[in-house]
Amino acid sequence: MRTDPFSGVVYVFRAKRADRVKLIFWVGTGVVLMAKRLENRKFSWPAIDNGVMRLNSAQLQALLEGLDWRRVHESRRATVPAAAS
């Protein structure tokens, strides 16, 4: 995968049926393995490019909650209109 496992990268592995996921990541003192299974749904998976899928932290959180990660966007800065003179 050509990534540094100690850089904060989260490795995500999915089951064939797409209802289970396992995550492996480094936390500074050791490796953490997390597993999750959805009871009545399937995870919505992103496209895989050369064996790798890329998500930002908000998209990964939505994926793990069983939500559609494609509906998560980067936060936008609101602009305040100038007062009329």
Whether 77 has a pLDDT exceeding 80, the answer reads no
pLDDT of residue 9: 82
Lowest model confidence (mean pLDDT) among 22-26, 63-67, 68-72: 68-72
Whether 1 has a pLDDT exceeding 60, the answer reads no
Closest CA to 3 of 48, 61, 51: 51
Whether 19 has a pLDDT exceeding 80, the answer reads yes
Please give the average per-residue pLDDT across 2-10, as a whole number.
76
Tell me the DSSP string of 5-37: TTTT--EEEE-TTSSEEEEEEE-SSSEEEEEEE
Higher pLDDT, 4 or 16: 16
pTM (predicted TM-score): 0.63
Amino acid at 34: M
Torsion sign over Cα 55, 56, 59, 65: positive
The residue with tokens 């797409």 is 18
